[in-house]
Structure 1
């Protein structure tokens, strides 16, 4: 058991190398935790201390980094990406029927797959408004005759 620190350091290296090939800072914290556990093993602490330090360090660093990231990461504003179509008006090119999984609308000069917000069938030719984007489909509602 005196050579357990090699195992911890190998695990730390594997996590840190894995972090290089992945997005985010998820594996890095496990690598740091394993390195701390390896240091405790070198100092002669028992397995309970090593595991406790590994889990505590990884958990605390993960929690702190999440809060830090949330503080500086801004939610994408409306009008960026597909969300720019919310509120836009268009026309149904192909009947929107959730059961048949059909529906095509033209918004501006682009054609999009569409779903009805109520699940009702919307016939071709009707004017609609986009209320949200779900995946690659626009969710639309039918406009009143005056809208």
Structure 2
């Protein structure tokens, strides 16, 4: 296999890793470097491919735990769920059960089984789609 193919694959894998930040494709880029070295040393294309595959596989397996720590999934902090348990205030009453509330410096649509009025203090107890479920607090 031509060395330029391995160089192209290496560049593609590293660019894709930068775009996805998955900490997975980087090892295929490193495997491509192994294949480039094997190509430079004069090994045939089958050995180059085996070197690429084996080195990539070993690196993926050996760094899986570390990769999971580095690429944490979006948790409560990235969604409206982070607001559960937060206190807020009613800004606008739309009808008996639907309101606009301010929680953590943001305005949200809210729903409550309590009869709420403007300036009532509320606590977020859940989420339904894009509406916060709140209850009146004293």
Number of residues of Structure 1 aligned to a counterpart in Structure 2: 131
Distance 1:95 1:31, change over 3 A: same
Aligned CA-pair RMSD: 4.6
- Quote how far apart the aligned CAs of 1:111 are: 4.4
Q: Distance in 2 between matches of 1:71 and 1:111?
A: 30
Q: Distance in 2 between matches of 1:75 and 1:11?
A: 27
Structure 2, gaps ≥5 residues long: none
Retained in 1: the 8 A contact 2:88–2:123? Answer: yes
Q: Distance in 1 between matches of 2:24 and 2:83?
A: 34
Q: Whose helix fraction is larger, Structure 1's or Structure 2's?
A: 2
Retained in 2: the 8 A contact 1:130–1:138? Answer: no
Query: What's the TM-score once normalised by structure 1's chain length?
Result: 0.53
Please point out which of 24, 31, 51 is paired with 1:53: 51
Please point out which of 124, 128, 131 is paired with 2:125: 131
Distance 1:91 1:67, change over 3 A: same
Please point out which of 95, 107, 112 is paired with 1:112: 107
Q: Distance in 1 between matches of 2:128 and 2:56?
A: 35
Retained in 1: the 8 A contact 2:89–2:121? Answer: yes
Structure 1, gaps ≥5 residues long: 97-101
Query: What's the TM-score once normalised by structure 2's chain length?
Result: 0.55
Q: Distance in 2 between matches of 1:58 and 1:124?
A: 59
Please point out which of 37, 49, 68 is paired with 1:39: 37
Q: Distance in 1 between matches of 2:108 and 2:3?
A: 57
